[in-house]
Structures are given as C-alpha cells and as structure tokens.
Chain A
Amino acid sequence: MIRRLLLLFVALLFIGVRGASGRERGVGVLSSAWPATSVSRVSEIGRGIGVVFSPDLSVPGNCRFYEALGFACFQDADWRRVLDGIHRHNVLYPERRIYTLVLETHGTNGNGLKLQSSYSPTADRSYIAIGALQELLEPDGINYILVSACNSGRLLRPYIRNELDVYNVDRLFLPATCGIINASPDFDESRSAVTIITPQSSHIETTLVGSVKELTPQAQRLIATAARALHIVPPTQLAVSDIMMQILTRDSRLQLAVNQYVDELSPVIQSADRSEELFVRFKTYVNAVAAREAATSKAPRRTKSVQRSSIR
C-alpha cells in the first residue's frame, strides 16, 4: 500500500515538473525569439522583428510607426504579397534582417490565419496554414513565429496545421477572395527549424488604437526623426496588440506555449481596463527609451564642450 502511494506521489511530481518545464520553455523561448536587451534608441526597439498586420486590424500609417521603431512591417490582405515582402526585406536589407515574425492577424476562431481588408464577403481576403508559414519562411531565415491571433492554439491542431479545412462551418471563415495557402503534402513540421509561439491560453486577442501624441514630446520628436531617416512620413497613430505590449514591457503575466495545440474554442476576452493598463505601460516603455536616447546623445556634446573649455 505504502509502495503504491509512493509511486503515485512520484508520478504526480513528474507530471508537475513536466508542466512547469513546459511553461518555462514558453517563457524561455522569448529570450531567444526576442531578447530583452536594454534598448538605447527608439529606432532600435523592433530590431530583428517583423510584424504582419491584417489591414482591418490596422490604422492609416500604422506601418510607419513600426518602421520608425525599427520593425519591418508588412500589411496586406494577400498572404502571397506578405511572404514576398518578407523575402525581399531579408534579401535586400541584410543589416536589418528579421528572424522573428509577429502575426497581428485574425485567427478565424482557430480555423486559419486570416488577412482581410474588411468583413465584407467580397473584400480582399486570404488564409494560410501554420505549416505553410513554417515551410515558406524557413528559407528566408525566419526562426520564430509569434502568433497573436484569436484562439491561436487551435491553429496548431494536427488536422488543420498543414492544410486548412475549407468546409468548416465557422461564420468567420469568409470567402478566400485572394486564396488559401497550405503546406506541401510532404511537409514534415517536426523537422522545421521555425518555432511557433502562441499564448499559453487560447483566447480572443485584441488590438488597441492609440495616438503618437500620447507619448512625451521627446519620444514624438525621436520617432519623427527616425521616420525621416527612413524617408517616411512621421506617423500619427498606431495599432498595438495586447500581446505585443506584454512582450515589449516584459509583462510577468505573459505565458507562452511552444508548438502546442488546443482543441477548445475559447470566448474569453481580456477586459478593456487590462488593455488600457498595458497601453500605459507601453507608453512608459517607449518614453523611457526615448529619454535614454536623449540622455546618451547629450552626453558626448557635454564632454566635447568640457574639452573645448579646458583647451582654452
């Protein structure tokens, strides 16, 4: 009897340790996918990171905001053009190559990654399977794909991972006017070098719309300077997801999963207050980087002026 109890205890301990290591892996992978280095310049915040926006989850000039922050930004309703843009970016700009991609797209209740111009049935719209992304982005040097879409865990279900089910009865699965991209029949995801990262709990993700004017004048000025350096018009507004804000601010409540699928469809949505709270922290983060950049750029000037005065 005692032996049985002991065995049960050991088994439970093993399960507990495995669960904890899974979570650790989720958090740990972020340090590889998006290292939490101390950024000293506003234009370096998104270095090495690409972000894909569904047009209807964006605002005018949104990509300009991300580009000013050092991200590579892709926004289109056609996955083919997005993939082409990523390929061209990494070929043409090796000094700014991206290795992690954040998908700010729809999840279609976990039935397919969707990009669309609007909810109109005739609007430009395309879908892609997770396996197809892994297969097509691996040659471009993408190592990590962070899926910030609703019920993203369901996208990794084995039966739709490589080929989407076009006969699903989900009302959000609107006509694919720009096509569907699936993985090749012989694609083996277990051999892929691309890691898929999703939130630990599958739920409804949200994006918040803010204004650049909400940042400090210092941050606004530095963002404008960074934009002009790229020959783009300084942005005025931005769309930022909860998960993006959590990553940037290294929110302790962020829990990620690696290559894990979920079956259940979740209606859970984070409260608006929580999003607002994250946005405040996001602004603080950008403002802090801007303050640091301003301080470091002033320091050499002071040193020079001191040197000049000593020469005199």
Chain B
Amino acid sequence: MTRARSNPVLMTVAALSLIFALVGCRSSSGYGTKTNTSTTTTNTTTETYTAPPTTSTPSITPAPATSTITTTTTLTNPPMAPTSDLTAAATTDTTAQTTYQTQTTGTTTSTTTNTATVASNLNTTGTTEPARHHRRMRKD
C-alpha cells in the first residue's frame, strides 16, 4: 500500500545530469571536428614553410624602385617634344608687327587613361561631349 514517493531533488539531479550528458556529447563531438581541422591547417602551414628559401629571393629582386617615380612624372608632367615651330600669325595692324606664337608639335607619350580619354574626346566630331576625366598637370 505504501506508494513510492518520487523525491523532487533526485528528479532534478537526474534531469540535469541527462541534459549535461547530451550537451557534453555534442560539445565533445564539436571538439572532435575542430581537432580534425587543426590537423589540416597544420599540414598546410608545414607546406608553406618549406618554400621560403627558393621564393624569397626573386620576389624582392624584381621590384624596381623606379616604377613609382616614373609613373608620377609621366602622369603629372607629360613629356613634350622639345622641337617647337614658330607660326607667324598676322595681326590686324598692317604696318608691321607679326606676333609669334609658340606651338609645340610633339605628341604626348603618356599612356595613362586620362590621356586616352582626352584623345578620344578630341577625335570625336560631335557637338558637346562631356569629358569625365581631363588630363591634369602639376605646376610644381
């Protein structure tokens, strides 16, 4: 007749232990995966470290120091041809006085995109054409 009473403390402990067991399993499985990954990364790094003696030397040598300077000079001050012809332009005064105007006939050797844009704008025969980027020159 005596009915076995369920102890609430014991029940809670049992429930908690069950939860911990489940969580613990999951986490342990997670750790397991990570361990696997770390193994792969270790392998990769080992491969990378074997390379330096051969690759380091050529990677430094081909970087020319002149590249930056040359580019800047070309962009800002495109070389003009030194030869210039003097074109006589008659003025309204008939008595004399011929105004001389220097005209540089050289072509710009700059290969920048800005120059290309300007050139294309000049070649096109249209009405009004918006140029997005014009060639700029520094006055330093």
Q: Which residues of A contact B (CB under 8 A)?
A: 54-61, 63-64, 73, 75-76, 88, 92-93, 104-109, 117-120, 123-124, 148-151, 172, 204-211, 213-217, 229-233, 236-237, 239, 241, 269, 272, 275-276, 279
Given contacts A106-B140, A119-B73, contact A92 B129 (CB under 8 A): no
B55-92 at interface with A (beta carbon < 8 Å): 73, 77, 79-82, 84, 89-92
Contact pick for A209, options B93, B97, B137, B138, CB 8 Å: B137
Q: What chain A residues lie within 8 Å of B118 (beta carbons)?
A: 209, 211
- The answer to whether A118 touches B126 (Cβ under 8 A) is no
- The answer to whether B102 touches A75 (Cβ under 8 A) is yes
Residue on A nearest B83 in the bound complex, by CB: A117
Given contacts A214-B128, A215-B128, contact A120 B82 (CB under 8 A): yes
Given contacts A56-B80, A60-B105, contact A213 B129 (CB under 8 A): yes
* Sample of 15 more A-B contacts, CB < 8 Å, known A117-B84, A210-B134, A213-B121: A73-B101, A88-B97, A150-B138, A172-B140, A205-B138, A205-B139, A206-B137, A211-B129, A211-B131, A216-B128, A231-B91, A236-B122, A269-B138, A276-B132, A279-B134
Q: What chain B residues lie within 8 Å of A231 (beta carbons)?
A: 89-92
Q: Can you give 22 contacting A-B residue pairs, CB < 8 Å?
A: A55-B84, A56-B137, A59-B104, A61-B103, A64-B101, A107-B139, A109-B140, A118-B82, A123-B82, A172-B140, A208-B136, A209-B118, A209-B136, A209-B137, A211-B121, A211-B129, A213-B125, A214-B129, A216-B128, A230-B91, A239-B137, A272-B136
Q: What chain B residues lie within 8 Å of A237 (beta carbons)?
A: 122
Contact pick for B140, options A64, A76, A150, CB 8 Å: A150
Given contacts A60-B103, A214-B130, contact A207 B137 (CB under 8 A): yes
Q: What chain A residues lie within 8 Å of B80 (beta carbons)?
A: 55-56, 117-118
Residue on B nearest A122 in the bound complex, by CB: B82
Within the complex, the shortest CB–CB distance from B2 to chain A, in Å, comes to 92
Residue on A nearest B103 in the bound complex, by CB: A60
Within the complex, the shortest CB–CB distance from A199 to chain B, in Å, comes to 11
| Interface residue tally on B, bucketed by range | 35 or more
Within the complex, the shortest CB–CB distance from B41 to chain A, in Å, comes to 44
Q: Is the interface of B mostly helix, strand, loop or mixed?
A: loop
- The answer to whether B124 touches A213 (Cβ under 8 A) is yes
B34 at interface, CB cutoff 8 A: no
Q: What chain B residues lie within 8 Å of A105 (beta carbons)?
A: 139
Given contacts A55-B102, A60-B104, A209-B134, contact A119 B79 (CB under 8 A): yes
- The answer to whether B122 touches A213 (Cβ under 8 A) is yes
- The answer to whether A210 touches B140 (Cβ under 8 A) is no
B127 at interface, CB cutoff 8 A: yes
CA–CA, A119 to B132, complex, Å? Answer: 28
Given contacts A61-B103, A206-B138, A269-B138, contact A214 B121 (CB under 8 A): yes
- The answer to whether A208 touches B138 (Cβ under 8 A) is no
Contact pick for A204, options B79, B130, B138, CB 8 Å: B138
B26 at interface, CB cutoff 8 A: no
- The answer to whether B139 touches A206 (Cβ under 8 A) is yes
Q: What chain B residues lie within 8 Å of A229 (beta carbons)?
A: 92
Q: Which 9 pairs of residues, A with B, have the shortest CB-CB distance?
A: A150-B140, A209-B135, A205-B139, A231-B90, A207-B137, A208-B134, A150-B139, A232-B89, A75-B102
- The answer to whether A213 touches B89 (Cβ under 8 A) is no
Q: Which residue of B80, B122, B126, B133 has the most chain A CB atoms within 10 A of its CB atom?
A: B80
Residue on B nearest A103 in the bound complex, by CB: B139
CA–CA, A120 to B83, complex, Å? Answer: 13
- The answer to whether B128 touches A58 (Cβ under 8 A) is no
Q: What chain A residues lie within 8 Å of B136 (beta carbons)?
A: 206-209, 272, 275
Within the complex, the shortest CB–CB distance from A218 to chain B, in Å, comes to 10
CA–CA, A202 to B118, complex, Å? Answer: 29
Within the complex, the shortest CB–CB distance from B105 to chain A, in Å, comes to 7
Q: What chain A residues lie within 8 Å of B93 (beta carbons)?
A: 92-93
Residue on B nearest A217 in the bound complex, by CB: B127
Q: Which residue of B90, B91, B102, B105 has the most chain A CB atoms within 10 A of its CB atom?
A: B102
